[in-house]
């Protein structure tokens, strides 16, 4: 169960990284690249960092149940929070262009 979850995060990071490179490299012709790139990149980073942080907190409390629950909650909250931050960043970037 954990391997597909982290595989999806890594796919988001790769797609987001490539989309961000396209958006930064060719801002005049890339219309949707900032939205796809920044949202995917920040959603992946948010999900990864939040799930690992909450898992480490659960491991620090020496409870496998809290650590497992922290991974799932951090995956959802970090992904949503990162997507919102990425959308805000993409909108600000499109306004500057």
Tens digits of residue pLDDT in 41-95: 999 999 999 999 998 998 898 888 888 888 889 999 999 999 999 999 988 887 8
Whole-angstrom distance between the N-terminal and C-terminal Cα of the chain? 42
Q: For residue 41, give the nearest of 14, 22, 77, 21 by alpha carbon.
A: 14
DSSP string, 60-95: HTT-HHHHHHHHHHHHHHHHHHHHHHHHHHHHHHHH
Q: For the chain, give every domain's residue range.
A: 35-97
Q: For residue 85, give the nearest of 31, 49, 58, 55 by alpha carbon.
A: 49
Q: pTM value?
A: 0.83
Phi and psi angles of residue 27, each rounded to the nearest 5 degrees, phi first: -70, -20
Instruction: Return the DSSP state at 29.
Output: T
Radius of gyration of the chain (CA): 15
């Amino acid at each position: 169960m954990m391997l597909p979850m982290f595989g999806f995060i890594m796919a988001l990071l790769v797609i987001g990284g490539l989309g961000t490179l396209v958006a930064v490299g060719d801002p005049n012709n890339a219309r949707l690249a900032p939205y796809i790139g920044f949202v995917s990149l920040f959603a992946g980073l948010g999900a990864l960092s939040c799930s690992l942080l909450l898992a480490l907190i659960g491991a620090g409390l020496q409870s496998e149940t809290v650590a497992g629950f922290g991974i799932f909650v951090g995956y959802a909250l970090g992904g949503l929070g990162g997507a919102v931050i990425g959308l805000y960043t993409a909108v600000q970037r499109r306004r500057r262009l």
